[in-house]
Amino acid sequence: MDEVLLGGPGGEPCLFFDEPVGRAELRRLVRERQAVLAAAGLRAGGSVALRLAPSLALVVELLASWRIGAQAALLDHRLTEFETGRALARLAPQVVVGSAEPVRGGPPRGFHHQVPVVAARPGRPAAGPHALVQFSSGSTGPSKAVGRTAADLVAELGRYARLDGVPRAGDRMVSLASPVHVLGLVGGLLHCLHAGVRLVFPARVTADGVPAAVAAGPEPTTLLGVPFHLELLGWRTAPPRLPQLTGMTTGGEPVRPEVHAAFVDRYGVRLGSMYGMTEVGVIATDLFGAHRPELAPVPGLAVRERDGELLVAAPRSPYLDLGGPAAADASAAADAPERWADGWLRTGDGGTVDPRTGRVRVLGRLDSQVSVGGLKVDLTEVEHTLAALPEVAGAVVLFGSSIEAYVSLHGHGGHSGSGGHSGGSDAVALIEARLAERLAPHKRPRLVHLLAELPRTATGKPVRDRAALARAAAQD
């Protein structure tokens, strides 16, 4: 902790919330909270769950827990009480840190003001060497509990240090990605502390708030986020002048070609991509957009293709069998052993590895490739075609007995229904007419459901669980 994350000149600001936080101040805050957690019974080898919104408090509690030598589990503050209770039942932490006040509604924020409340409970200590526990996104099914050791995290920071295109000492990063999840945690918080990069959490994650955060300092500045944030940045409109902005890096899911081109054209900077997983962190990158749609594996991490699926080297299974009582948790735990074997982790993504260059091409989830009337259809292609229509704000395409699309429109409230058209018949008819010009008949959705807004995971990925989407459609 002291060497990798908390070292450096004490007067140098390293984090920016309402006010800058210097390294000496951060070290002091961590020591203070370390004493509070120790007084609650947290010891080396113990376990703590942190349920805090992005905030200075979250950063300090996490670093203090690690400085003690405890295992820290991160719970997204947007989880419902039911979801939180189920996660705590799986984790059984000895200490839980929450907030004295819930997060209020309003425009999306990059950070919140949190007053941590520490509660001891009859939990169990860490069962293994893992310093960090996170939950996978759950975009396609139940979340899996993922454990990573301190050595895993240090090794990933070493890979970041060898990447061309990530911010370096003296640069700034404006992070739109939550530090509760792997992109914002390792690619944002931990990398910036380790590399001496000034990390900014914007007050507002909006079309005005993000450029204001970029413009607040003179240093070369990189944005970090997910494709969802490109919509917030208003890439369809003329941007403000931002001479500090050197580029943006996105993770979580691929950026559609037209969105990539529009962002680069309007901002005049690079738009890079990262491919990774909660289980191992960053896997492959194209930080300058030079090889789209291919990405280069990060130094020190092996990637291969087997039977059309991408595999990544992992010395041990990252999945924790926590013995959760819920059926959904049990199914996730049962699936975990099938994902790792003999030092290789199955990503669940279809893809190829170029034998000459070693570059990776991600083709989408394997469960997105289906057969319709004996003809192969890639649901990702259908989804991207839908999402590229000018009326469409977002789309998810699934396959049951037929191809179905869940669509949100710009400025459309959405209505639920049944049959070939799920309400909004004029809008659906227009979508179908445009798709008829772009897709062969066997690729077109038989059912189109209009939603006011697509449900998303805490990391900004569209939810692909059929039951969750059906519930959202029924509510609109």
Q: Which residue ranges make up each domain of the chain?
A: 1-128, 139-364, 373-475
At 324 the pLDDT is 46
Q: Please report, in tens digits, the pLDDT of each residue of the chain (476 residues total).
A: 888 999 888 888 999 999 999 999 999 999 999 999 999 999 999 999 999 999 999 999 999 999 999 999 999 998 888 888 989 999 999 999 999 988 887 778 999 999 999 999 999 999 899 999 998 865 555 678 999 999 999 999 999 999 999 999 999 999 999 999 999 999 999 999 999 999 999 999 998 999 999 999 999 999 999 988 887 786 656 778 899 999 999 998 888 888 888 889 889 999 999 999 999 999 999 999 999 899 999 999 999 999 999 999 999 999 997 654 443 444 444 455 588 999 999 998 999 999 999 999 998 878 777 878 667 788 888 988 898 898 898 899 998 888 999 999 987 554 433 334 444 678 889 999 999 988 888 899 999 999 988 888 767 778 888 888 888 888 76
Topology alike, domains 1-128 and 139-364: yes
pLDDT tens, residue by residue, 219-259? 999 999 998 888 778 665 677 889 999 999 999 888 888 88
Residue 71 · residue 46 · CB < 8 Å: yes
**Distance in Å from the first CA to the final CA of the chain:** 48
CA of 97: how far to CAs of 23, 64, 177, 363, 417, in Å?
23, 12, 21, 40, 43
Distance CA 176, CA 202 (A): 7
Q: Which CATH number fits domain 1-128: 3.40.1350.10, 3.40.50.980, 3.40.50.620, 1.10.357.10?
A: 3.40.50.980
95 alpha carbon, distance to own chain's centre: 26
d(CA 230, CA 256): 11
> Which residues, 6+ apart, have CB-to-CB distance to 147 below 8 Å?
71, 128, 130, 132, 133, 318, 319, 320
Give the count of beta carbons closer than 10 Å to the beta carbon of residue 122: 6
- Please report which helix (H) or strand (E) contains residue 383, including its range: helix 379-387
Asked if residues 353 and 305 have their Cβ atoms less than 8 Å apart, the reply is: yes
Tell me which of 3.30.300.30, 3.40.50.20, 1.10.580.10, 3.50.50.60 is the CATH number of domain 373-475.
3.30.300.30
Predicted TM-score of the model (pTM): 0.82
Report which of 258, 267, 248, 223 is spatially closest to residue 392, judged by C-alpha positions. 258
Residue 436 one-letter amino acid:
A
Strands 447-451 and 403-409: parallel
The Cα 295–Cα 174 span in angstroms is 23
Q: Identify residue 131 by its one-letter amino acid code.
A: A
Record the tokens describing residue 135, joined without a space.
Answer: 């939950």
Decide yes or no: CATH 3.40.50.12780 for domain 139-364.
yes
Judged by DSSP in three states, 129 sits in coil
Find residue 175's DSSP bridge partners. 224
Helix axis angle for 379-387 and 425-438, nearest 10°, is: 120
Contact at 8 Å (CB) between 378 and 442? no
| 245-250/281-286 β-pairing | unpaired
Cβ–Cβ under 8 Å, residues 69 and 93: no
